[in-house]
Amino acid sequence: MKPKGNTVIVSVLLAALLIAMAAVTAGCSSQSTPQTATPTVTSVTTQATPLAKSTAIDVTAPAPTRLYQVDGSCRYESTVEVYNKGQIDYTNIAIRLDLVDKLLGSVRDTYNIDIERIVPDNRKVFPVQFSGECDREYWVRFEVS
């Protein structure tokens, strides 16, 4: 008679297992309409804070030289020098250079220079090229932050 007892226990366990599986998978067989997620776009704008006038960073940006290209367009080149005349290291310096039309005062092109670190009495030189119109005169304006 022992085999009948084991059979009953196994049958009860199988029935419990089937009930548990049915409860777990009950929502899995239904088809729901897919929901499309609307992406959230966050716009972040950072504005550079200009360094104080007393900052010991000197920037020299001479008048740009016109370079004629093979395709008939023009590039303008200038060599920018950044010099730390102070007694401390400066880190994370951003210099924005604008190619400005002499007649109209409008900005034709912009170039950014990022300097991770500049130690006292150190000079860094950057060759910079801008795009511009061949028949215009330009000057280079800069902002250090």
Confidence of residue 8 (pLDDT cuts 50, 70, 90): low
pTM over 0.75: no
Q: State the alpha helices, DSSP H only, in the chain.
A: 2-24
List the domain boundaries for the chain: 57-144
Output phi, psi for 11, to 5 deg. -65, -40
Cα–Cα distance measured from residue 128 to residue 143, given in angstroms and rounded to the nearest whole number:
15
User: pLDDT tens, 95-133?
Assistant: 999 999 999 999 999 999 999 999 999 999 999 999 999
Question: Do residues 109 and 96 make contact, with C-beta atoms less than 8 angstroms apart?
Answer: no
Instruction: Quote the CA–CA distance of 85 and 120 in Å, as a whole number.
Output: 6
What is the CATH topology of the domain spanning 57-144? Immunoglobulin-like (2.60.40)
First-to-last C-alpha distance (Å) of the chain: 92
User: Using an 8 Å Cβ cutoff, are 119 and 89 in contact?
Assistant: yes
